[in-house]
Chain A
Amino acid sequence: GQLHIIIHIPANHYLSYDLVVLPNYLPALEGSLHSSILRNRKNIPTSLKTSQAPFTSVSKDKISQTAGHSSEDDNQSSNGSSAQLFTRRHGESPVKVLLLLVVGLSFSTRLYKITEPPHVCWDETHFGKMGSYYINRTFFFDVHPPLGKMLIGLAGYMTGYDGTFPFIKPGDKYEQQNYWGMRGFCAVLGSFLPIFAYLIVLELSQSHTAAFITAILLIFDTGCITISQYILLDPILMFFIMAAVLSMVKFNQQRYRPFTASWWFWLVLTGVNLAGAFGVKFVGLFVILLVGLNTIWDLWRLLGDLSLSLVDVAKHFLARVVGLILLPLFLYVTVFAVHFVVLNKSGPGDGFFSSAFQSRLMGNNLYNASMPEYLAYGSTITVKNLRIAGGYLHSHWHLYPEGVGSRQQQVTAYSHKDYNNLWLVHRQDDNNSQSGSPDLVRHGDIIRLEHKETTRNLHSHLHEAPLTKKHFQVTGYGINGTGDTNDLWQLEVCGGRKGDLVKVLRSKVRFLHRATGCVLYSSGKTLPKWGWEQVEVTCSPYLKETPSSQWNIEDHINPKLPNISLSVLKPHFLEILLESHIVMIRGNSGLKPKDNEMNSKPWHWPINYQGLRFSGVNETEYRVYLLGNPVVWWLNLASLGLYLIMVAVASVTIQRGFSLEQSQVLMRGGGLLLLGWLLHYAPFYTMGRVLYYHHYFPAMLFSSMLTGITVDILLNSADLILQPPYSDWMQRVGQMVLLLSVLYSFYLFHPLSYGMTGPLAHEPGSAMAGLKWMDSWEF
């Protein structure tokens, strides 16, 4: 029943332009309704005045009601005269020309010298290797979700890379390998960033100048170029982030035509891109938050729109749940499903996962495993903790350091397969295995576990555990199997009764310490350096049955018993999914900074304090250094401050009852971008993991877009202080100065991206002589 009237009023003074850019656009009437306008500009064309005349007589509420929209939130501002520079210069269709210019520049800067240097650079050693794993279908473990590496692998596969290059360390020559395809794929995705940024800013500000400034900043930023040119996850991640933001902004623009095809299109596209971003790196969570907050805001607006019935609101809500939650979730899970299907061979990542999981990998020792079925005395076993991603019970020739309990041999949990994970099962008294067929271990038996490599017994006593002070310490004690009564453990099968046998792989067992009554426990906390960053094992006095205190017998070697083929319960897909996520999260938080390593701090990033060396150190080597164009980055930093000041001034002015043109673009568009920047930057301050300079790049994209809007509005506001002809000149001079300084700085710093050889910057005769503006830059 609602009649949707779309009102076309040229808010701009240039009608032709307006009709091209803004097909459906509700103009602000605010400017004409308020009595006082802080502007010197007097050149409003008469045609505009007449076209607005009918509306000025109607009250504001009435208009918005007829239009079927809520009153408060929907007033878009008039755009001042933003696009005039380019409209004048390029005539009829500036849109296409500008966009083509941006596309051309973007692709050419990113694809230029894409094959240089012809050796492995920086993290290519990881991601290139993982791409190869996909091609070889070898299972591996990484802290990031699989989509990015799958795409890299796919790109390599399509361009004829055969997955044989080992990617051992940075600096390895590629020789005959087809590495350009993977690099080119990343560079193409990276080339879309300035284009997306252009379109986002255009959508938010309706100003071609702002959009073009943003695109120029990104196109000529050496950092963005460098990070796009190599086999890395970042260009892929940023592609999805920007695509998600672009579709979100487009979707916002469709709000007056709900449930039309284009509305659905952008909604679904947003969801797809969110799944993509999150599927590449967990950092994609931040853009999900951004879209989430935007959606909540949007729903809140719809809820306040009393012309919509509750059923309509519910429809809107459900549509978003489907498009932005269920669809991305489904896609994300699909990505994992593909990941597990593709990778079906045993590889370096096996030990991180549970026994059940390993049994599905071809080549793993648990794949179609065959071993004695019941645990027996005299067997050699590995014991795996049952908490998700728990490690193997492990010991090694190192003692607990001074001051940590008693100075005995360390016992830890370790995720990698290693001969130090092997233990021998003994009766409490005897040491020698008898002849004949060995006895089987039963529920309630008292056993002794001897570490095979060091011949120490698993031991516990009333000393505090190293990290979990409420628990007791577990050590390796004794020699050649002779120890004391603190070495005795009672073995219990969970849910078993006295006399039950212990099934290998399938029984959950607990080890109760005889002397103190505590239970063998893996706390999941990472030991400091002295413990080789392995996981703490303690003896917990709290006897509750949790996976942390349950273990299973994984390998079981006993030559005196017949091997029986065991089919382990194949895990459910959702179990694998959950397990791999917990492993990834734990892996991420385990990436602690090393003590003496130079660690990048979040506050370094916006000031461009220090870059990353992608390739080369010495004078003779081909050097590539990831560092943002300082002019661009410092301009971004300054604009952030400027933006805050402008918003503060504008809000106070409005709160005092004046009206400002463009305040809507400033606050809405700018606010969205500021929020994006904050969401992609602030969380790093709370992260304990090791951080790198390139983590800032998604935030930098938002910051650059904000700069575009801020600078454009600032230049437009020249007419607040100057009379018309002068203000226009000032505006144009400002734009030219900005353009030229960005171009010139790019000319100065381009060797950072495209490679340089010869002496370093602090020596005379270097290509970069005099450009080391900060001591901390390392080129």
Chain B
Amino acid sequence: MSAMLQLPLVVTAQVDLVLVLVSLLALWTRLSRLSYPNAVVFDEVYYGQFVSLYMKRVFFIDDSGPPLGHMILALGAYLGGFDGNFVWNRIGAEYPSSVSVWSLRVLPALCGALCVPLVYLLTLELRFSHLSALGAAVLLLLENSLIVQSRFMLLESVLIFLVLLAFFSYLRFHNAPTSSWFRYVWLLLSGVSCAAAIGVKYMGLFSYLLLLGVAFLHTWNLVGDQSVSHLNVCVQCVCRVVCLLVVPVLLYVFWFYLHLSLLNRSGPHDQLMSSAFQASLQGGLSRITQGQPLEVAYGSQVTLRSSASQLIPCWLHSHKANYPVRYENGRGSSHQQQVTCYPFKDVNNWWIIKHPGRQELVVDTPPRPVRHGDVIQLVHGMTSRFLNSHDVAAPMSPHAQEVSGYVDFNVSMPAQNLWKVDISNREAESEVWKTILSEVRLVHVNTSAVLKLSGVSLPEWGFRQLEVVAEKLFKAHGSSLGWNVEEHRYGTSQEPKEREAELHSPTHIDVDRKISFWAKFLELQWKMLAVKQEESEHKYSSAPLEWITMETNIAYWLHATTNAQIHLIGNPVSWGVANLSLLAYQLLAAVYMLRRRRGFKDLPDAVWDQFVCLGCVCVGGWVVNFVPFLLMEKTLFLYHYLPALCYLYLLSPALLEHTHTHLLSSVTHRCALCVCVSAVLLSVFVSYRTFCPLTYGSPELSANQLRGLRWRDTWDILYRRR
């Protein structure tokens, strides 16, 4: 105690000046003149819509990735006081002065800048020297494509930052002495950044899996270490599982929780979701459905929505048009009234539930609810035709029965209009048919066929609406059979004219209906994965194999009047260095492995381990971030390659250092290598300077200068004709 009292109060700080310097340079390259160009650049037009929707708290669904990335962009907009009132309709549109462009772009730019020091630190954690670390940082610093991608409201820089952070913190954890408990903070950080990376883009998953693989190998070695007690091994394993598996999963769900609690108003994408989901949003369907009676009763007026997993919603529909007597292919029909499924709200979507034994179309007081197993008739509200099915082949799906609104032509074709209610998600046998919640199959009593959306659209005579058929149960599957009541009210008017007026009037009353967060999360997640983009080629899209040689560029922005323009073009020299080092590593690894297998140990074990670790992280990182794209059928762009490229920039200097220390023994060779490296660095800098005008969009270049920058024939650089 007394000894401690005698100690002076000392603060010792070590500052890595090189690190500070590269950080400052990175900040300068990424953040200077950030609000130029003051116009919508490339995919900002896409992300911008979502930012606006966040500001207005309107629900949307985006299949390109989980919501965290959009939320980060929205955070920047929020801090800059953006109110969401900007129409993101075309690339190149000028931002009004009310929009703070700088704040929209600053978060991605900051992340992009921080990648540079992070790479420096990561190289150190891979146990390479400060000089290698500096090399990696410089390569990243002077990479034009990363600069371009960071300076706009785009997500790649955020993703790269998080992925690098995850690896850095994991290696920090791994390299820390086993005794310290503080190192688990690093592990936790690693788990958190993995979750964030996946939350920004699904692509983060690739790096996460690689990190799990590396962590598994390390853990496996730990399990094999028999000097550690069983208990200790168990505890360590549990800690790793919690930090790297449990925490990321929980966080991933948490991003959705944030997303759903932020967006509570109905919007343009409502219709993709189930009725229950829509009813949980303010406005939209909930405005209509609020206060609807819950239990469907005899005399109820309802719209029946198909619960098919198709993305276009549709409602059971009929109209004053009959099936053509003969179809184009010569088959005949019943010529009765068409019954279809219609993807828009329409007064012709209303049906009335009728008790077969009674004439009334109004609800009794008290209402008599319809239960599972009851037999009902369905009357079309506007035309008063009964929903009917019979042994006539359906128009487009001849193996199924036609469904019609019954018209009696006196041709010995009797009405078969009884339907049994089969609630497929019932909990009790006598459950009441509930609005929105119950999923119902309508089973035709005469033929025991089930009312079904076939998914085929009818030709011109059916106004291209969707075909509805009845099909025997043993043939049909799944969700195309289910229907749920979406809009519902108790009918009060017996007269057809009054009823029409009633159907035209909107429904209103108040009740609140909620579905749980988990149900919403699962539905949203499923929809996001299931929504398939139309596969279409974009003018600047490219194939993965073209990325390695940078075959295609992407024009991000062109000044409205001058030749000033911004392109996504990487630094060709660095790109070449990256490819070369990838090749060199693989060759070297193959030679080492074969020689080790034959008993020649070229490297001491510690160095070999370091070499392997480098390969696992960097080459592995490149592989997991590149190879999956070869299998994808999406429209792909050059920027999808940037995460993989960053791994190669990590690899290059480390590999050079390895060559320098372990392969070259003579002094002259080493000197030669140093000279080469400096020459390469110089040319990296020169080519960075050369492409700067296309990276920053200024200064404007003449057509001739632009032509000079077109290093590859396949690049598309725009010249303005004057």
Contact of B537 among A306, A470, A686 (CB under 8 A): A470
Taking CB atoms, residues of chain B closer than 8 Å to A407 are none
Taking CB atoms, residues of chain A closer than 8 Å to B633 are 688
Q: Are A656 and B224 in contact (CB under 8 A)?
A: yes
Q: Are B597 and A686 in contact (CB under 8 A)?
A: no
Q: Are A778 and B474 in contact (CB under 8 A)?
A: yes
**Binary interface profile of A, 748-772, with partner B (CB < 8 Å = 1, else 0)?**
0000000000001110000000001
Q: Are B223 and A595 in contact (CB under 8 A)?
A: no
Q: Are A468 and B631 in contact (CB under 8 A)?
A: no
Q: Are A775 and B455 in contact (CB under 8 A)?
A: no
Residue B519, interface by CB 8 Å: no
Contact of B536 among A469, A760, A775 (CB under 8 A): A469
A686–B633 Cα distance when bound, in Å, is: 10
Residue B475, interface by CB 8 Å: yes
Q: From residue A316, how far is it (CB to closest CB) to chain B in Å? A: 14
A595–B230 Cα distance when bound, in Å, is: 56
Residue B456, interface by CB 8 Å: yes
Instruction: Tell which of A300, A468, A598, A655 has the most Cβ of chain B within 10 Å.
Output: A655
Taking CB atoms, residues of chain A closer than 8 Å to B538 are 469
Residue A596, interface by CB 8 Å: yes
Q: From residue A470, how far is it (CB to closest CB) to chain B in Å? A: 6
Residues facing A in B505-561 (CB within 8 A) are: 536-539, 541
Taking CB atoms, residues of chain B closer than 8 Å to A310 are 598
Q: From residue B717, how far is it (CB to closest CB) to chain A in Å? A: 15
Taking CB atoms, residues of chain B closer than 8 Å to A468 are 537
Contact of B224 among A595, A655, A688, A760 (CB under 8 A): A655
Given contacts A655-B220, A656-B223, contact A304 B597 (CB under 8 A): yes
Taking CB atoms, residues of chain A closer than 8 Å to B473 are 762
Residues facing B in A596-631 (CB within 8 A) are: 596, 598, 610
Taking CB atoms, residues of chain A closer than 8 Å to B477 are 598, 610, 775-776
Contact of A469 among B224, B474, B475, B539 (CB under 8 A): B539
Taking CB atoms, residues of chain A closer than 8 Å to B708 are none
Q: From residue B98, how far is it (CB to closest CB) to chain A in Å? A: 35
Residues facing A in B407-464 (CB within 8 A) are: 454-456
Q: From residue B548, how far is it (CB to closest CB) to chain A in Å? A: 20
Q: From residue B13, how far is it (CB to closest CB) to chain A in Å? A: 44
Q: From residue B218, how far is it (CB to closest CB) to chain A in Å? A: 13
Taking CB atoms, residues of chain B closer than 8 Å to A304 are 597-598
A657–B227 Cα distance when bound, in Å, is: 11
Q: From residue B463, how far is it (CB to closest CB) to chain A in Å? A: 16
Taking CB atoms, residues of chain B closer than 8 Å to A342 are none
By secondary structure, the A interface counts as: loop
Residue A578, interface by CB 8 Å: no
Residue B8, interface by CB 8 Å: no
Interface size of A by Cβ–Cβ distance < 8 Å? 27
A313–B476 Cα distance when bound, in Å, is: 60
Residues facing A in B358-407 (CB within 8 A) are: 397
Residue B667, interface by CB 8 Å: no
Taking CB atoms, residues of chain A closer than 8 Å to B539 are 469-470
Q: Are A652 and B537 in contact (CB under 8 A)?
A: no
A304–B224 Cα distance when bound, in Å, is: 23
Residue A105, interface by CB 8 Å: no
A464, closest chain B residue (CB): B539
A760–B475 Cα distance when bound, in Å, is: 11
**Binary interface profile of A, 452-471, with partner B (CB < 8 Å = 1, else 0)?**
00000000000000011110
Q: Are A306 and B455 in contact (CB under 8 A)?
A: no
A469–B474 Cα distance when bound, in Å, is: 44
Q: From residue B167, how far is it (CB to closest CB) to chain A in Å? A: 26
**Binary interface profile of B, 271-294, with partner A (CB < 8 Å = 1, else 0)?**
000000000000000000000000
Q: From residue B541, how far is it (CB to closest CB) to chain A in Å? A: 8
Q: Are B456 and A596 in contact (CB under 8 A)?
A: yes
Residue B3, interface by CB 8 Å: no
Q: Are B474 and A655 in contact (CB under 8 A)?
A: no
A596–B455 Cα distance when bound, in Å, is: 6
Residues facing B in A249-273 (CB within 8 A) are: none
Taking CB atoms, residues of chain A closer than 8 Å to B223 are 652, 655-656
B534, closest chain A residue (CB): A528
Residue B226, interface by CB 8 Å: yes
Q: Are B594 and A303 in contact (CB under 8 A)?
A: yes
Contact of B474 among A470, A656, A688, A762 (CB under 8 A): A762
Q: Are B224 and A306 in contact (CB under 8 A)?
A: no
Residues facing B in A555-610 (CB within 8 A) are: 595-596, 598, 610
A598–B631 Cα distance when bound, in Å, is: 24
A598–B397 Cα distance when bound, in Å, is: 13
Taking CB atoms, residues of chain A closer than 8 Å to B475 are 778
Instruction: Tell which of B224, B474, B475, B594 has the most Cβ of chain A within 10 Å.
Output: B474
Q: Are B537 and A656 in contact (CB under 8 A)?
A: no
**Binary interface profile of B, 625-639, with partner A (CB < 8 Å = 1, else 0)?**
000000101000000
Q: From residue A174, how far is it (CB to closest CB) to chain B in Å? A: 25
Residues facing A in B570-612 (CB within 8 A) are: 594, 597-599
A655–B228 Cα distance when bound, in Å, is: 12
Q: Are A469 and B230 in contact (CB under 8 A)?
A: no
A596–B456 Cα distance when bound, in Å, is: 7
Given contacts A652-B223, A655-B220, A655-B224, contact A469 B537 (CB under 8 A): yes
**Binary interface profile of A, 682-697, with partner B (CB < 8 Å = 1, else 0)?**
0000101000000000
Residues facing B in A655-677 (CB within 8 A) are: 655-657
**Binary interface profile of B, 203-230, with partner A (CB < 8 Å = 1, else 0)?**
0000000000000000010011010001
Q: Are B230 and A306 in contact (CB under 8 A)?
A: no
Contact of A760 among B226, B474, B598 (CB under 8 A): B474
Taking CB atoms, residues of chain B closer than 8 Å to A596 are 397, 454-456
B399, closest chain A residue (CB): A617
Given contacts A686-B631, A762-B473, A778-B475, contact A467 B536 (CB under 8 A): yes
A685, closest chain B residue (CB): B631
Residues facing A in B224-240 (CB within 8 A) are: 224, 226, 230, 233
A762–B538 Cα distance when bound, in Å, is: 51
Q: From residue A767, how far is it (CB to closest CB) to chain B in Å? A: 15
Taking CB atoms, residues of chain A closer than 8 Å to B598 are 303-304, 306, 310
Taking CB atoms, residues of chain B closer than 8 Å to A772 are 474
A762–B474 Cα distance when bound, in Å, is: 8
**Binary interface profile of A, 632-652, with partner B (CB < 8 Å = 1, else 0)?**
000000000000000000001
Taking CB atoms, residues of chain B closer than 8 Å to A655 are 220, 223-224
Q: Are A595 and B455 in contact (CB under 8 A)?
A: yes
Q: Are A306 and B599 in contact (CB under 8 A)?
A: yes
Taking CB atoms, residues of chain A closer than 8 Å to B536 are 467, 469
A761, closest chain B residue (CB): B474
Taking CB atoms, residues of chain B closer than 8 Å to A306 are 598-599
A313, closest chain B residue (CB): B598
A772–B474 Cα distance when bound, in Å, is: 10
A598–B479 Cα distance when bound, in Å, is: 12
Q: Are B537 and A467 in contact (CB under 8 A)?
A: yes
Q: From residue B227, how far is it (CB to closest CB) to chain A in Å? A: 11
**Binary interface profile of A, 265-300, with partner B (CB < 8 Å = 1, else 0)?**
000000000000000000000000000000000001
A598–B473 Cα distance when bound, in Å, is: 14
B633, closest chain A residue (CB): A688
A655–B217 Cα distance when bound, in Å, is: 12
Q: Are B474 and A300 in contact (CB under 8 A)?
A: no
15 pairs, CB–CB < 8 Å, chain A vs chain B: A310-B598, A467-B536, A467-B537, A468-B537, A470-B537, A595-B456, A655-B223, A655-B224, A656-B226, A656-B233, A761-B474, A772-B474, A775-B477, A778-B475, A779-B474
Given contacts A304-B598, A655-B224, A656-B230, 19 further A-B contacts (CB under 8 A): A303-B597, A304-B597, A306-B598, A467-B537, A469-B536, A469-B537, A469-B539, A595-B456, A596-B397, A596-B454, A596-B455, A596-B456, A656-B223, A656-B233, A657-B226, A686-B631, A688-B633, A772-B474, A778-B475
By a beta-carbon cutoff of 8 Å, the part of chain B in contact with chain A is 220, 223-224, 226, 230, 233, 397, 454-456, 473-475, 477, 536-539, 541, 594, 597-599, 631, 633
Closest 7 CB pairs of A and B: A469-B537, A596-B455, A655-B224, A304-B597, A655-B223, A303-B597, A657-B226
